[in-house]
Amino acid sequence: MTDDRTRLASLIKDNAVFFGDFTLTSGKKATYYIDLRKVSLDHRVAPLIGDVMVDLIADIPDITAVGGLTMGADPIAAAVLHRGVLRDLTYDAFVVRKEPKDHGRGKQVEGPDLAGKRVIVLEDTSTTGGSPLVAAAALEKVGAVVVAVAVVVDRNTGAKEVIEQAGYEYRYAISLTDLGLDS
């Protein structure tokens, strides 16, 4: 693991892992909860998340934009956008709503025009893969070409298999092992 990934895993473990009885978005029960917003919205950690995620996706060619389902993906996309600039990478960001707006322009995907553009769906932590797939479906409706899903923390609960079965490459930066949660 790189120094940045090691530091990020430590910061997540120390600041964003909570123990108790939790119900996840998927409805599944868990004895721990990874609340990545505790670190992805922290000025000390967000740049590190951006660096780690840029490292994770930098080898995928011709990516125009990154983003995902609001709210978890929003700070991750902003971090990637800003840290990418420091490497002369021109990733724009987008936000995908769960449903199209019922007012204004009625958009579900906000940001630059993505028709015909290669994009990566981001997620803070993934359990079932459902949120990235909702985002991917909305993006494809506007003509985007979804080439991968990149997740900060993979819970190792089947998201990788679901996303790959849907035809997308799946990448993650931090595993449960990295967080000491695999036992």
Q: Which two tokens stand for residue 132?
A: 């990235």
Judge whether 167 lies within some domain. Answer: yes
Judge whether 86 lies within some domain. Answer: yes
Residue-level pLDDT at 2: 78
Are the C-beta atoms of residues 123 and 132 closer than 8 Å to each other?
yes
Domain enclosing residue 74, as ranges:
3-174
Structural domains of the chain, count: 1
Judge whether 181 lies within some domain. Answer: no
Judge whether 180 lies within some domain. Answer: no
Judge whether 14 lies within some domain. Answer: yes
Judge whether 179 lies within some domain. Answer: no
Judge whether 183 lies within some domain. Answer: no
pLDDT one digit per residue (tens) for the chain, 183 residues: 679 999 999 999 999 999 999 988 778 888 999 999 999 999 999 999 999 999 999 999 999 999 999 999 999 999 999 999 999 999 999 999 987 766 666 688 999 999 999 999 999 998 889 999 999 999 999 999 999 999 999 999 899 999 999 999 999 999 999 999 975
Find the CATH number of the domain harbouring 50.
3.40.50.2020
**Residue by residue, what is the 3-state secondary structure of the chain?**
CCHHHHHHHHHHHHHCEEEEEEECCCCCEEEEEECCHHHHCCCCCHHHHHHHHHHHHCCCCCEEEEEEECCCHHHHHHHHHHHHHCCCCCCEEEEECCCCCCCCCCCCEECCCCCCCEEEEEEEEECCCHHHHHHHHHHHHCCCEEEEEEEEEECCCCHHHHHHHCCCEEEEEECCCCCCCCC
Longest dimension (CA), the chain: 49
Judge whether 140 lies within some domain. Answer: yes
Residue-level pLDDT at 104: 63
By the 10 Å C-beta count (0-12 exposed, 13-18 middle, 19+ buried), 33 is classed as middle
